[in-house]
Amino acid sequence: MDANLFRYIWQHSRREQIFVLVLIALSLPFYWMSLDVPKRIVNEALQGRAFEDGNITATLFAFSIPLPEFLGGGSITLSEGWLFDQLGYLIALSLLFLFFVLCNGAFKFVINVQKGILAERMLRRMRFDLFSRLMRFRPERIRAVKPAEAASMINNEVEPIGGFIGDAFIQPAFLGTQALTALLFIMVQSVWLGLVALSIVLIQAFVIPILRREQLRLGRLRQIASRKLAGRIGEMVDQSRLIYVHGLQAYSKSEIGQRLGHLFNIRAALFKRKFAVKYLNNFLAQITPFFFYSIGGYLALTGNLDIGQLVAVIAAYRDLPPPIKELIDWDQRRADVTIKYEQVISQFANEPQANEFEPVEVMPGPHVPIALDGVRVSDQRGTPLLENFAAEIQRPTHVALVGPASSGRDLVARIIARQISDFEGRARIGEADIRALSELSSACLIGYVPPDPILFAGTIRDNVTIALRHNAPPPGDTADGTWREAERSGNPLLDYDADWHDYESSGTGSPEQLEGRVIDCLAVTGMTEDLYNFGLQGRVGDIVTDGVKDRLITARRQIRSRLDDNEISDLVVPFDVDQFNPQATVAENLVFGVVASERLAGTGLASDPYFRTIIAAEALEYPLIEIGLQIAESAVEVFSDLPSGHPLFDRFSMIASDELDTYADLIAQARSKATTQLSAEGRDTLMALAFAYIEPRHRLGLVTPALKARIIRARSSFRRFLPQEYEDEIEFYTADELMLAAPVRDNVLFGHIAYNIANADKKVAEILDQVMDELDLRQVVYALGLDYDVGPGGRALFAQQRTAIGLARNLIQRPSILVLEDAFKPFSPQQRESVIERIRSQMHDRTLIATLDDESDAESFDDIYTFQGPRGRRADSNSGRRSTPSPAVQSAPALEKEVEQ
Partner 1 sequence: MSIAAECDQLEAIPLLRNLDPAKRKLIAMSSDNLTYTNGDAVFRQGEAADAVYFLLSGSVRVFKDTETHALELAHLKEPAVIGETGVICGRTRNASVIATSETRMLRIDSRVFIELLEQVPDFSVALVRELAARVEATNQRLLDQHSQS
Residue ranges in contact with partner 1 by CB under 8 A: 634, 637-639, 641-643, 646-648, 651-652, 696-701, 755-759, 798, 800, 828-830
By CB atoms closer than 10 A (0-12, 13-18, 19+), residue 761 is middle
Distance between CA 219 and CA 270 in Å, rounded?
7
55: left (phi > 0), else alpha (psi -120 to 50), else beta? beta
Closest to partner 1 by CB, 357 vs 755, is: 755
Closest to partner 1 by CB, 653 vs 877, is: 653
Q: Work out how close the CB of 651 gets to partner 1 at its nearest, in angstroms, rounded to a whole number.
A: 5
Q: Are strands 63-66 and 572-574 parallel, antiparallel or unpaired?
A: unpaired
Please, which residues have CB within 8 angstroms of residue 593's CB and are 6 or more apart in sequence?
A: 730, 731, 732, 733, 739
Distance between CA 858 and CA 666 in Å, rounded?
56
- Asked whether 701 and 643 are in contact (CB, 8 A), the reply is no
Give the orientation angle of helix 86-135 with respect to helix 159-189, to 10 degrees: 150
Q: Work out how close the CB of 451 gets to partner 1 at its nearest, in angstroms, rounded to a whole number.
A: 16
Q: Work out how close the CB of 526 gets to partner 1 at its nearest, in angstroms, rounded to a whole number.
A: 11
Closest to partner 1 by CB, 734 vs 759, is: 759
Closest to partner 1 by CB, 734 vs 756, is: 756
Q: Work out how close the CB of 854 gets to partner 1 at its nearest, in angstroms, rounded to a whole number.
A: 12
Distances (CA, A) of 270 to 112, 260, 381, 417: 12, 15, 53, 47
According to DSSP, the residues that pair with 751 across neighbouring strands are 574
Distance between CA 1 and CA 132 in Å, rounded?
11
Closest to partner 1 by CB, 19 vs 798, is: 798
Q: Work out how close the CB of 518 gets to partner 1 at its nearest, in angstroms, rounded to a whole number.
A: 23
Q: Are strands 63-66 and 730-732 parallel, antiparallel or unpaired?
A: unpaired
Q: Work out how close the CB of 242 gets to partner 1 at its nearest, in angstroms, rounded to a whole number.
A: 24
CA angle, 46 as apex, 40 and 52 as ends, to 5°? 90
Q: Work out how close the CB of 758 gets to partner 1 at its nearest, in angstroms, rounded to a whole number.
A: 4
Exposure pattern of 498-523 as b/e (b: 16+ CB <10 Å)? eebbbbebbebeeeeebbebbbbbbb
According to DSSP, the residues that pair with 867 across neighbouring strands are 872
Closest to partner 1 by CB, 68 vs 643, is: 643
Q: Work out how close the CB of 756 gets to partner 1 at its nearest, in angstroms, rounded to a whole number.
A: 6
Q: Work out how close the CB of 207 gets to partner 1 at its nearest, in angstroms, rounded to a whole number.
A: 57
Distance between CA 718 and CA 735 in Å, rounded?
19
- Asked whether 572 and 749 are in contact (CB, 8 A), the reply is yes
- Give the residue among 186, 112, 177 at the shortest CA–CA distance from 323: 177
Would you state the torsion angle of the CA atoms of residues 363, 365, 367, 371, taken in this order, to the nearest 10 degrees?
Answer: -20
User: Which pairs from 435-439 meet CB under 8 Å and 24+ separation?
Assistant: 435/355, 435/356, 435/357, 436/355, 436/357, 436/358, 436/359, 436/360, 437/359, 437/360, 437/362, 438/359, 438/360, 438/361, 439/244, 439/247, 439/249, 439/354, 439/359
Closest to partner 1 by CB, 300 vs 571, is: 571
Q: Work out how close the CB of 699 gets to partner 1 at its nearest, in angstroms, rounded to a whole number.
A: 5
- Asked whether 794 and 422 are in contact (CB, 8 A), the reply is no
Closest to partner 1 by CB, 423 vs 649, is: 649
Closest to partner 1 by CB, 658 vs 727, is: 658
Closest to partner 1 by CB, 238 vs 633, is: 633
Q: Work out how close the CB of 559 gets to partner 1 at its nearest, in angstroms, rounded to a whole number.
A: 22
Q: Work out how close the CB of 725 gets to partner 1 at its nearest, in angstroms, rounded to a whole number.
A: 39
According to DSSP, the residues that pair with 77 across neighbouring strands are 64
Closest to partner 1 by CB, 2 vs 637, is: 637
Closest to partner 1 by CB, 524 vs 694, is: 694
Please, which residues have CB within 8 angstroms of residue 404's CB and are 6 or more apart in sequence?
A: 853, 867, 868
- Give the residue among 568, 573, 600 at the shortest CA–CA distance from 584: 573
Q: Work out how close the CB of 539 gets to partner 1 at its nearest, in angstroms, rounded to a whole number.
A: 24
Closest to partner 1 by CB, 289 vs 623, is: 623
Half-sphere exposure of 838 (CA within 13 A, CB side): 27
